[in-house]
């Protein structure tokens, strides 16, 4: 089996310090947390930016600060969000791609997201994909529902995405596909044979689906964006604590952890 790529999704757009006081918000805090996750075995850091008061933002300058601070401390692959927060405009969301980070997320369809709607209409997806081509950014295709895989395959035909594709199954968002073992088994059979995939289970689905991914040869994403608890009713102390647990279980299951350079190779990323 391939070495294991662990992604740490540190901050997200929805969470507040009221829910978990350990949430990293400022660029310094995010970079410090990224370093601790990288030390623990994460090779990809998925980032969202916040204003100093905690409001989610896609401000290019704040992303620039976060990326530089992470790169000063580690060789982790930085993956920026183009999802931002529900309600943001496409132009706001796509800003960090123009910084030419190594990776960015690309959600290939719309989905209800809690009480809101995460809008990703076809022309917007094409615009984001073109921007990623122009800036030399590797997309990670975010899959909240099965039709998003079919949409990604259509974009390959249009020349807007190219094989090998890398997917992230985000299962358990209220409004999206629930985080069940059956759904993971179903989705992975829809992928092209040379695709790679990561499992991001939301809330209580995070750990069991991560363990399934370890066994099935997939990769794993953990972090406060997806889950703030270590166990039922017990808040996680840090993102790194969640990464450390995956590394421990992966060791028991004979899945050595990939370094960032190894992850670049596994994901067929040009700039290793
Ligand atoms: N915050 C969600 C609405 C991504 O990073 O690309 C979307 C999201 C996905 O977080
Ligand atoms: Zn995100």
Beta bridge partners of 231: 234
Q: Which residues contact 4 (CB under 8 A, 6 or more apart)?
A: 214, 219, 220, 246, 250, 255, 256, 257, 258
Nearest CA to ligand 1 atom 7: 83
Q: Which residues surround ligand 2, an ion (CB under 5 A)?
A: 81
Q: b/e for 162-194, b at 16 or more Cβ within 10 A? A: eeebbbbbbbbbeebbebeeebbeebbebbeee
DSSP track, 160-189 = SS-SSPEEEEEE--BTB----HHHHHHHHT
162 Cα to the center of ligand 2, angstroms: 22
Q: CA of 94: how far to CAs of 35, 57, 59, 86, 215, in Å? A: 25, 11, 10, 13, 35
Report residues whose beta carbon is within 6 angstroms of any ligand 1 atom. Answer: 12-13, 81-83, 85-86, 105, 107, 113, 118, 142
Q: How far is the CA of 59 from the centre of ligand 1 (A)?
A: 15
Task: Summarize the confidence of residues 55-70 as an average pLDDT.
Answer: 98
Query: What are 177-192's pLDDT values in tens digits?
Result: 999 999 999 999 999 9
Q: Binning pLDDT at 50, 70 and 90, where does residue 270 land? A: confident
pLDDT at 271 over 80: no
CATH architecture of structural domain 6-266: Alpha-Beta Barrel (3.20)
pLDDT digits (tens, 9 = 90+) for 73-116: 999 999 999 999 999 999 999 999 999 999 999 999 999 999 99
Residue 119 three-state SS: coil
CA of 170 to the centre of ligand 1 (A): 10
Q: Which residues are within 8 A (CB) of 231 and not within 5 positions of it... i.e. 6 or more apart?
A: none
pLDDT tens column, 135-160:
999 999 999 999 999 999 999 999 99
Per-domain residue ranges for the chain?
A: 6-266
Confidence of residue 272 (pLDDT cuts 50, 70, 90): very low
Mean pLDDT of the 212-226 span:
98
- Cα(225) to centroid of ligand 1, in Å? 9
185, two tokens? 């088994």
Is the CB of residue 146 less than 8 Å from the CB of residue 187? yes
pTM of the model: 0.98
- Cα distance between residue 170 and residue 94, in whole Å: 20
């Amino acid at each position: 089996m391939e070495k294991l790529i662990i992604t740490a999704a540190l901050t997200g757009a929805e969470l507040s310090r009221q829910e978990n006081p350990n949430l990293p918000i400022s660029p310094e805090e995010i970079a410090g947390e990224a370093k601790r996750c990288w030390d623990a075995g994460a090779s990809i850091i998925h980032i969202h930016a916040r204003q100093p008061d905690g409001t989610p933002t896609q401000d290019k300058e704040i992303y620039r600060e976060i990326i530089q601070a992470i790169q000063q401390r580690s060789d982790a692959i930085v993956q920026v969000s183009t999802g931002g927060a529900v309600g943001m405009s496409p132009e706001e969301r796509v800003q960090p791609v123009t910084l030419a980070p190594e990776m960015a997320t690309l959600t290939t369809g719309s989905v209800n997201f809690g009480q809101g709607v995460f809008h990703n209409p076809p022309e917007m997806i094409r615009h984001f994909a073109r921007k990623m081509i122009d800036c030399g950014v590797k997309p990670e295709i975010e899959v909240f529902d099965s039709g998003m895989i079919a949409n990604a395959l259509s974009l390959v035909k249009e020349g807007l995405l190219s094989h090998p594709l890398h997917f992230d199954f985000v299962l358990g968002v209220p409004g999206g596909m629930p985080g069940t073992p059956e759904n993971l088994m179903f989705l992975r059979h829809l992928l092209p044979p040379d695709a790679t995939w990561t499992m991001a289970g939301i809330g209580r689905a995070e750990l069991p689906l991560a363990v399934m991914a370890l066994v099935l040869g997939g990769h794993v994403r953990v972090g406060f964006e997806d889950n703030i608890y270590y166990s039922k009713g017990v808040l996680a102390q840090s993102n790194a604590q969640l990464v450390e647990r995956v590394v421990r279980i992966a060791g028991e299951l004979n899945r050595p952890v990939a370094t960032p350079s190894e992850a670049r190779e596994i994901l067929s990323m040009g700039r290793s």
